[in-house]
Amino acid sequence: MKHIPRKRFGQNFLSEPDIIHSCIEAIRPGQDDLMVEIGPGLGALTQPLLQRLNHLHAVELDRDIVAWMQQHYTAGKITIHNADALKFDFASLGEKIRVVGNLPYNISTPILFHLLDNVGHIVDMHFMLQKEVVERMVAAPSTPEYGRLSVMLQYRLHMEYLFTVPPEAFDPAPKVESAFVRAVPHATLPHPARNEPLFGKIVTAAFGQRRKTLRNTLKGLLDDAGFAALGIEPQLRAENLGVEQFVAIANHLG
């Protein structure tokens, strides 16, 4: 099939055999795993996954690719969901889901947040993403990459940067480097927030104006007495606080 990659779907198809092999080795599919692939495209990961799995679910928005897949794969081996991954109910597939994908870079962050809503059903996730996004996912406090994405994902997930992937591993080649990442939900939250929406609100407010101090970004939420009670210096910026401290603020206010 000669498929013209669609810019609006953010399509860059993985094509380098050594990188594909490295991805599959990192995922380590077991034959009975309940696995779902987001954006299978022309099958770079799909084909080797099907060689190891009894069955695979695939979520693909592009109807042309869905039509090609229906002709190309054995019906009993794969269930194709012609759907938008941002709206797909992953929990409907069952418990202990493993999620994989070469995610469209233009919607990668919203997909990650959507998957957090289904995290109770997920065993692990392996994604190809823009390197810059992966660096933000795994970033430690007080580094330039650390931000809202880092805090919100690390609250729920243990993250591991696996390897870097050059642009020429894709067709068409993107203008940026990519990276493969593993995300595993915490069996027990290391720092549970009693009110998770409030926790999210505080993190969003704190990082809303990165260069401002916490005294300014959290004005109206946390006063000087609150900072003192928590032992947090109000002259710090959001990037200086770890997940545990953001949770402490939320639990103090909640």
Reported pTM: 0.91
How far is it, in rounded angstroms, from Cα 55 to Cα 49?
A: 9
Structure tokens at 63: 């109807």
The answer to whether the bond into 17 is cis (omega within 30° of 0) is no
The string of pLDDT tens digits covering residues 16-37 is 899 999 999 999 999 999 999 9
Task: Please answer whether residues 160 and 179 qualify as being in contact, where contact means their C-beta atoms are separated by less than 8 angstroms.
Answer: no
- CA-nearest of 133, 217, 233, 222 to 183 is 133
How far is it, in rounded angstroms, from Cα 146 to Cα 149?
A: 8
Structure tokens at 116: 């957090």
The string of pLDDT tens digits covering residues 53-106 is 999 999 999 898 899 999 989 889 999 999 999 999 999 999 999 999 988 878
Domain 7-185 fold is Rossmann fold (3.40.50)
How far is it, in rounded angstroms, from Cα 99 to Cα 72?
A: 22
pLDDT (average), residues 243-248: 98
Domain 196-253 fold is Helicase, Ruva Protein; domain 3 (1.10.8)
Percent of the chain with pLDDT over 70: 95
Alpha carbon 240 to its chain's center: 23
- Domain limits, the chain: 7-185, 196-253
- CA-nearest of 183, 32, 166 to 101 is 183
